[in-house]
Amino acid sequence: MKGLTARLKEKLPKGKHSIISLPYVWLLVFFVLPFIFVAKISFSEADLAIPPYMPMFEWSDNLLNIKINLGNYLWLAEDPLYWEAYANSIKMAFWSTLLCLLIGYPMAYAIAKAPKEKQAVWLLLVLLPSWTSFLIRVYAWMGLLKDSGLINGALMGIGIIDEPIQMINTNFAVYIGVVYSYLPFMVLPLYANLVKHDNSLLEAASDLGAIKAVSFFRITLPLSFNGIVAGSMLVFIPVVGEYVIPELLGGSDTIMIGKILWQEFFNNRDWPVASALAVIMIMILIIPISLFHHFQHKESR
Amino acid sequence: MQGQKFSFANLMFWVGIAFLYLPMLVLIVYSFNESKMVTVWAGFSAKWYGELFHDAQLMSAVGRSLEVAFYSATSAVVLAIFASVVMVRIKQFKTRTLFTSSITAPLVMPDVIIGLSMLLLFVALQQAIGWPEHRGLMTVWIAHTTFCMAYSTVVISSRLVEMDRSIEEAALDLGASQIKAFVQITLPVISPAIISAWLLSFTLSLDDVVIASFVTGPGATTLPIEVFSSVRLGVTPKINALATLIIGVVSLVAFVSWYVSKRMNDKLKATAA
């Protein structure tokens, strides 16, 4: 092994930089640089022009004018709607993450404990839905949840209810949609973690007389901590900014920040305010994102 | 071995699977419904499929989306192979943390943020250097390549980490160049992961509505954007038919790729043994 690394060091230097530079330059230009523009435009003033914001730097009469407009942030701070949207998004992301964890953990556990030859098939069963269109899976729930939908129809048919229960356009529908769409993202990292566990620890515990529940809570659960964090972040972070699910399944009272950002951008054409919303969202998400990054690397090692 | 805990987990697994599959099953059944009322069963009919294929606007969106998905998946996988080599084998260079962070960040970054930031980049670039001249399939391709690359890198690098390097080492000992050893030994070994990454990227690109809505331009409406705008107005049997076709194709592709990679892995194991 040492021989190889030594040889690599010998042979790589020429090629090393070219290997790094191709993906690196792409990421810098198309992923990192865009955030600088978001930050910049969040400090610009909206304008009725194309593009709909005023330039930040102007050069006239040998004077460089730099205009930094804090108005967008002040505007956001003053309107309780935006505060509510952030708080509500975080709240909904938190509860849906917890629901995914409660359903996903036993599922991942079942796959990890299944006989070796079954594991691949079971895992495929969980992942297959996430390969089909996300949009279509959310859409499927529209047909099930609406007033004249299948669930209400069935309940009325049996005679449990007389008139349809309002399910679509509620937060309840959004929770269902989110858990339904993000469940596979929870199961995958949990499975990847659980399947690596060394059974000898559990055997030792059982030899020493521990019952299954005790050894689960004292051994398996703590050992799967990295998987729990990875899976939870994989659900929590995108759900905070989710747009499609609240738009299709939520009602007018489902105020989520992704939806508000979309409306500011597409309906109000207020690019600076949309950018300011995005900057604040990134600042909220930076801690969970670095947590995810940290645990992802711990797991892959 | 089989205790109480075991069967509870198994029960939850099958309940979860039912939860994941039943809504799609209902969708498929109702796509063959004669009635325009989506939830009333009025007899078997394939007429919605006929209407679907006669919808020229939708069909041209299908073509555009397949094209973008093909190019995005291909470029994303090429970039991801390089990125995986960097992630797995080049442990030390300046600003490595920035590199690894920007590889994994697109996995979790909300779509609205990626979409908005990409659009603002394209607008700023156009003002500064006149490129891209207008937004359309090309800007969608760039955006999709960027986030598909993140997923592909996860898939490919996890295979590259596991790879047994002794054969490559032997090739180097026998005087093969670094590039030759990589192309002739490493690439074939990680090829199942490359295929999976390509298929994953293809489906991700085919599925994206939010990012494409931000970065696309006139005349370049992709399929998800088209579907989204009609779904917003309510449930229609035509979309059920389209959904059924998509589910069918994806299941087939997923099954074939799973089977192929299983066969390849079995073969590799057999030759190694």
Could you report the per-residue pLDDT of A89-143, keeping only the tens digit for each?
A: 999 999 999 999 999 999 999 999 888 888 888 998 898 888 888 888 899 999 8
Residues of chain A found within 8 Å of residue B207, distances taken between Cβ atoms: 133-135
| CB contact (8 A) between residue B206 and residue A133 | yes
| CB contact (8 A) between residue A136 and residue B100 | no
**Is the bond leading into B106 cis (omega within 30 degrees of zero)?**
no
pLDDT at A281: 95
pLDDT at A12: 53
Place of tokens 């800007």: B139
How far from A216 is each of A105, A206, B182, B225, B270, CA to CA, in Å? 12, 11, 44, 46, 36
> Which of A23, A142, A300 is opposite residue B79, by nearest beta carbon?
A23
- Alpha-carbon distance A108 to A101, whole Å? 10
Assess whether pLDDT exceeds 80 at residue A6: no
Per-residue confidence at B167, pLDDT binned at 50, 70, 90? confident
Q: What percent of chain B lies above the pLDDT cut of 90? A: 38
Residues of chain A found within 8 Å of residue B121, distances taken between Cβ atoms: 30, 33-34, 37
Task: Convert the pLDDT of each residue in B98-110 to its tens digit.
Answer: 898 888 889 889 9
- Alpha-carbon distance B79 to B101, whole Å? 16
ipTM above 0.85, yes or no: yes
| CB contact (8 A) between residue B16 and residue A15 | no
Per-residue confidence at A270, pLDDT binned at 50, 70, 90? very high
Query: Quick one: closest CA in A to B90, which residue?
Result: A16
> Which of A20, A34, A240 is opposite residue B117, by nearest beta carbon?
A34
Interval A197-222 mean pLDDT: 86
Place of tokens 């659009």: B119
Q: Cβ–Cβ contacts within 10 Å for residue A100, how many? A: 27
DSSP string, A50-66: SSSB--SEEEETTEEEE
pLDDT at A9: 54
Assess whether pLDDT exceeds 60 at residue A8: no
Assess whether pLDDT exceeds 90 at residue B252: no
| CB contact (8 A) between residue A132 and residue B246 | yes
- In chain B the domains, ranked by start, together with CATH numbers, are 64-272 (1.10.3720.10)
pLDDT at B257: 75
State which H helix or E strand residue A271 sits in. Answer: helix A271-300
pLDDT at B255: 79
Question: How do the domains of chain A map onto residue ranges?
Answer: 74-300
Question: In terms of pLDDT, which residue wins out, B65 or B34?
Answer: B65
Per-residue confidence at B266, pLDDT binned at 50, 70, 90? confident
Q: Which two tokens stand for residue A160?
A: 């449990």
Kindly state whether A271 is in contact with chain B, defined as any CB-CB distance less than 8 angstroms.
Answer: yes
Task: Convert the pLDDT of each residue in B171-228 to its tens digit.
Answer: 889 988 888 888 988 999 898 889 889 988 998 999 899 999 999 988 889 999 999 9
Give the SS3 label for residue A63. Answer: strand
pLDDT at B61: 93
pLDDT at B125: 92
Residues of chain A found within 8 Å of residue B142, distances taken between Cβ atoms: 30
Helical H runs in chain B? 4-30, 47-54, 56-89, 96-108, 111-129, 137-162, 166-173, 178-181, 187-207, 210-215, 223-231, 237-272
Query: Quick one: closest CA in A to B167, which residue?
Result: A4
Q: Which CATH class is domain A74-300?
A: mainly alpha
Question: In terms of pLDDT, which residue wins out, B5 or A8?
Answer: A8
- Give residue B120's identity as a one-letter amino acid code: L
Kindly state whether B66 is in contact with chain A, defined as any CB-CB distance less than 8 angstroms.
Answer: no
| CB contact (8 A) between residue A139 and residue B6 | no
Interval B53-70 mean pLDDT: 92
- Alpha-carbon distance A244 to B81, whole Å? 31
| CB contact (8 A) between residue B23 and residue A141 | yes
pLDDT at B2: 44
| CB contact (8 A) between residue A136 and residue B210 | no
Residues of chain A found within 8 Å of residue B101, distances taken between Cβ atoms: 290, 293
Residues of chain B found within 8 Å of residue A248, distances taken between Cβ atoms: 231-232
Q: CA torsion B247→B140→B233→A91, rounded to 10°?
A: 90
Task: Convert the pLDDT of each residue in A33-58 to its tens digit.
Answer: 999 999 999 999 888 777 888 888 87
| CB contact (8 A) between residue B227 and residue A265 | no
DSSP A218: I
| CB contact (8 A) between residue B103 and residue A27 | yes
Kindly state whether B191 is in contact with chain A, defined as any CB-CB distance less than 8 angstroms.
Answer: no
Q: What percent of chain B lies above the pLDDT cut of 70? A: 95
A165: left (phi over 0), alpha (psi -120 to 50) or beta: beta
> Which of A15, A140, A242 is opposite residue B110, by nearest beta carbon?
A242
- Alpha-carbon distance B209 to B239, whole Å? 15
Kindly state whether A291 is in contact with chain B, defined as any CB-CB distance less than 8 angstroms.
Answer: no
Best probe of the A interface among B32, B109, B112, B233, by most A CBs < 10 A, is B112
CB A38 within 8 A of CB B116: yes
| CB contact (8 A) between residue A238 and residue B106 | no
CB B12 within 8 A of CB A107: yes
> To the nearest whole angstrom, how far is the Cα of B20 from the nearest Cα of chain A?
7
Q: Scan residues 12-71 of A and list those with Cβ closer than 8 Å to B.
A: 12, 15-16, 19-20, 22-24, 26-28, 30-35, 37-38, 41, 51
| CB contact (8 A) between residue A23 and residue B106 | no
Q: What is the mean pLDDT of chain A?
A: 88
Kindly state whether B123 is in contact with chain A, defined as any CB-CB distance less than 8 angstroms.
Answer: yes
- Alpha-carbon distance B159 to B139, whole Å? 30
Kindly state whether B108 is in contact with chain A, defined as any CB-CB distance less than 8 angstroms.
Answer: yes
Q: What is the mean pLDDT of chain B?
A: 87
CA A66 to chain centre: 36
- Alpha-carbon distance B246 to B48, whole Å? 14
Per-residue confidence at A209, pLDDT binned at 50, 70, 90? confident
- Alpha-carbon distance A180 to B19, whole Å? 8
Kindly state whether A73 is in contact with chain B, defined as any CB-CB distance less than 8 angstroms.
Answer: no
Q: Scan residues 87-116 of A and list those with Cβ closer than 8 Å to B.
A: 103-104, 106-107, 109-111, 113
